Each structure stands twice: as C-alpha cells, then as structure tokens.
Amino acid sequence: MNLVCSECGRAAAADAMFCASCEGLLAFETFAAAPGAAPDRDRIAARRNSNDMRDRSGVWRYRDLLPPIPFDSIVTLREGDVPVYDAPRSAAYAGVQRLSCLHLGMNPTASFKDAGMTVAISRAAATGARVAICASTGNTSASLSAYAARAGISAVVLVPSTGISEAKVAQTLDYGATVVAIDGDFDAALETVRAMDPQRVAIVNSVNPYRIEGQKTAAFVLLEQRGWRVPDWIVLPGGNLGNTSALGKGFREALALGWIDRLPRLAVVQASGAAPFARAFRDKADLIPVHAETTATAIKIGAPASWKKARAEVAASLGTVLHVDDDAIADARAIVGRDGIGCEPASAATLAGLRQLAGNGTIGAGDDIVLILTGHVLKDGAYAANYHESAAPFANHILRGVDPAEVIDRLNAPA
C-alpha cells in the first residue's frame, strides 16, 4: 500500500506526516487486490472465533487491508468489534420506520478513536518511537494514553484548558499521560502539534494516515454484522472530519473488492456553532474556518483538518452535510438513552440530523439507516446530569419525598 499526498497525488516518504511539496494530508491509496486475489470476507469474519486478541479485534482481523505492520508490534485492546443495536424509540423520534446504531462508544476507551489509535500506536511501536502526542477535545487523548501505556510509549496530550469533559481528562490522567492544558481551543492545540518534528515524536491526530486506516474498518465491522447488506444511509457526526474520511474509504474499498454492490450515502452532521463544513458544502465553496462554539465538545472544531478528504467521500457517496443546534442535540441524546443505548452529545448530533433529513424528505421514512454513535454516555456524565435537572422536554427528574409503593402502583396502572 503506497502513501501518497491526498491533494497533489505525489508519493510520500514512509515516515512523513505531510506532503513535502504541498503540505497536504497524506493517505494510503485505496486498497486494491490483485485480480482474482481479493481477500475472502468470510474467512476474515471467521477470525472472530479465535482467542488471539488480534483476531478478535475488529480492526486487526481486517489486517489484510491495512498497511503492513509486524504482527508482534501490534498493540491491541481488542477494539473495533462493537455491536449494532436497533433503536425503535429513536426511529419514532426521527420519524422513520427503522433505525440501527453502530455503537463505537463500546470500544475499550469508549470512543471510536481506539480503532485508529491501535494502528497509529502499533506503527509508532514498530518504528521505535518513544513519545507520542496529540491535540484533543478529550477522546483522542484518552485513547492515545491507553494504547501508549500498553506499548510502553510516553504520551503527551494537549487539551483546551476549558470546555472539555472532566471525565475524559480524568480517564487520560488515569492511563498515565502527561496532560498539558493550553490557553486556546482545539484548533490552536492542533496547530501546535502539526508544527512538531515527526522524527522526534509520533503525531497521532487523525492527520496521521494510520489512524484513518484503522478507523475505516468500522465500515467492514458494520457490513459484516449486517450480512453485507448495504444500508441506504450512514449518519455520522463531523468534527475534524477524519472519521468521515475513514468510513468513506472503508465503504469504497469494500465496493472495489466486490464485497458490496453499492455505496451507502453519507450524511455528516455538525453542531450549528461549529459548522464550517456544512457551510462549505452548501455553498460548494472552500472551507472557511470559524471560531467553534458548542456544548457537544467532541465536535467543537472550527478548522477541520480533513475537510478535503471528507468532501471527496461525501461526493462519492452522493451524500449530504447539515448542522443542528445544541438544544436539538441535547434532546436527541436523551432519546438515544431511552432506547437503552446512550451516547455522548456529539454522537447524538446524528439522531438530531436524521430527524431534520427525514422531516425535509432527504431521507425516506422507509430507508435503511445506520447512525454512527461515536462515544459512550459516561464520557460526559455532567452533561447528562445537567440535562435531567433542567426543564428540557425529555428531562427525567429525580423524585424526592415520594412513597416508592405509590410509584409502583402508578407504573402498574393500565395506560
């Protein structure tokens, strides 16, 4: 698999992080098998039956489609093999007949970042890196620190000093990373990281093409669990847009291998206060960075690094990009909880976005739709607690001074 510039197409050195001629993001070329030698999807899926963590991992069982990394260098926490849940209450809320959720919050550190991080850190380990760094709104830092701890690599994370979930910072500290709070937002932190020398420190933000390769396997894991039936729509949140780039690439590779016969359409949902990609899509123009403001902190990003890659994936899939406001995200998040699933705010932008797209007829009520839930409900417990103490429509208030027996009677009463 060759590493090339995603913008000018020039070949890149194996240890580069950006294009030497145009500074564009690097990408591994679309995986293509020799004629008649496409990997057998069923043989790969059958690795689930093994007891080797690398076979059980939803990422590493697809290693035939990943950049070559020595098997002994693989650093895994058995990530990627996450469930697909049906979500009837969420479907009713959005106004569609059926809906399912690929829950990437069910990963080892409770967000999708693990699927990319296992590959980025395995690569760093294979090349002898001693220190790894990322800028983060919280989940990348938690994931980096866990995998770095497993690998015996020192982790350094740059986080905004305000507006990030306490739970995510605590988790990161727990795994032993050095946490540096910076006086600025995520975009400023990423600028700092991008300027670092990749020879001295492994940069593991989603500008790292190994991250994208790991994250693309979520497309395979989803299809595998659906018996390779392609959904009509995939709805996912968009922040830095690495995940949109990764999932789009995964589906295109599955198509190129003959594993599926069409692409699902990608609907990317941003928070209204952090929606430069939605605006660029609407205006068919280049992305203009914004100052990001949203309570969905995982997508509070004003200058998404991967917007060009993501735009190409949305176009290839005949997809769309939209934005939803913070109140819509908050209500949708509470509804996902009512399905017994739960997710963090950024993930719930998907359900709010679906509701908008079903309401305006872009998505049909009978379509086959999958939401990508990117992070676990416990990633931002304070947000959930605040919602349920508020006067919001789906707030579930704690009862005080009531007789529990009366509560039981009320719940047993015929409707």
Ligand X SMILES: *Cc1c(COP(=O)(O)O)cnc(C)c1O
Closer to Zn ion by Cβ: residue 24 or 273: 24
Measured from the CB atom, the residue of 27 and 120 that comes closer to Zn ion is 27
The smaller minimum CB distance to Zn ion, of residues 5 and 155, is found at 5
Q: Tell me which of Zn ion, ligand X, none is bound by residue 209, counting a contact when its beta carbon lies within the kind-specific cut-off of 5 to 8 angstroms.
A: none
Crossing angle between the packed helical segments 242-256 and 209-225, to the nearest 10 degrees:
60
Q: Which residue is nearest to ligand X (CB)?
A: 375
User: Is the Cβ–Cβ distance between 159 and 182 less than 8 Å?
Assistant: yes
d(CA 262, CA 248): 12
Q: Is 242 in the site for ligand X (CB under 6 A)?
A: yes
**Nearest CA among 214, 242, 247, 216 for reference residue 305:** 242
Taking CB under 6 A as the rule, does residue 313 contact ligand X? no
Binding track over 375-394 against ligand X, x by CB under 6 A: x-------------------
For 1-5, which contacts have Cβ atoms below 8 Å and span 24 or more sequence positions?
1/28, 1/29, 1/31, 1/66, 1/67, 1/68, 2/28, 2/29, 3/27, 3/28, 3/29, 3/67, 3/209, 4/28, 4/29
Residue with tokens 């509701």: 355
Residue 374 contacts ligand X per CB under 6 A = yes
Question: Which amino acid is it at 289?
Answer: P
For ligand X, the closer of residues 139 and 317 by Cβ is: 139
Contact between 269 and ligand X per CB under 6 A? no
Residue 172 touches ligand X, criterion: CB under 6 A: no
353 near ligand X (CB under 6 A)? no
Instruction: Based on the shown chain and the rule CB under 6 A, indicate whether residue 347 belongs to the binding site for ligand X.
Output: yes
Q: What's the distance, CA 370 to chain centroid?
A: 14
Give the tokens for residue 400: 């005080």
Should residue 243 be labelled a site residue for ligand X when binding is judged by CB under 6 A?
yes
- Give ∠ CA 85-262-88 in degrees, rounded to 5: 20
* 117 vs 257 by CB, closer to ligand X: 117
214 binds ligand X (CB under 6 A): no
Which residues would be at the binding site for Zn ion (CB under 5 A)? 5, 7-8, 19, 21-22, 24
Taking CB under 6 A as the criterion, the residue among 134, 222, 241, 352 binding ligand X is 241
**Residue 8 near which of Zn ion, ligand X, none (CB within 5-8 Å, type-dependent):** Zn ion
